[in-house]
Amino acid sequence: MTDIETALGDLVVANRILANENVVDAYGHVSVRRPDDPERFFLSCSRSPELVSREDIMEFGLDGEPSGGDDRTPYLERFIHAGVYERNPDAVAVVHSHAEEVLPYSITEEPLRPVIHSAGLMGARVPVWDIADRFGDTTLLVIDMEQGRDLAGALDEHRVVLMRGHGFTAAARSLSEVVRLSVMLPRNARILTTALRFGRVKELSEGEIARRLRMNPDGPEFWRAWEYWATRAGCAEMLEGHPNRGG
């Protein structure tokens, strides 16, 4: 299996996992940078993640335009992905989601922060980007490169940025890592929201977060989750022959 084939297969599995774990629904998307060309990335055409198959994957440049005259309808918000890849060379995979659990933290002063061990990779601080700050009254959607770049600037070197009244965007070092981050983020938000009713909350320390981030994002303990989620999502057969599949 070539790196490209692996990346495309993983991207389909990532779409199915995110849908099955309720991170995305009709909307939301996931992309991966092209392994042999950092100036390009793969992202589905405009379909719901649960329905995405290998044939739906399109290739884009860092300006958000499709490669090679591909005239299929792309996602309106593909500029989110283009902006992040253009700004941060370390970003290998990106998720955009409208997960409801995180939205209260995008419209209030209460900061979203990691409170459970598996959410440590979201980092200590999650900035909130408000599209109105620079663009005034919009549909709240990120529909051009200027808006994508502005969002990417707010994300900067963080792992997650909340988008006011809209959702979140997450970036990570691999597809499996960005999927894990995106699955854990709403769970962490749900637990934080519950705990805040009781009063003061103890979050992960800076040192704990740093140690979580030093774990190998594609180590065998994380493959276990990928295999589990892929199987639940009905695409276990797509893992056949995968290079990360160990004993």
How far from 205 is each of 115, 124, 187, CA to CA, in Å?
A: 9, 8, 19
Q: Whose CA is closest to 217, among 71, 61, 70, 93?
A: 93
Active-site residue (options: 21, 77, 101, 177):
77
Taking residue 54's Cβ as centre, other Cβ atoms within 10 Å add up to 12
List the strands of the sheet with 93-97, edge to edge: 57-61, 40-44, 29-33, 93-97, 167-172, 160-163, 128-129
Catalytic annotation present for 227:
no
The string of DSSP letters for 164-201 reads TTTEEEEEESSHHHHHHHHHHHHHHHHHHHHHHTTS--
- Is residue 33 within 8 A of residue 41, CB to CB? The reply is yes
Q: Which residues have a catalytic role annotated?
A: 77
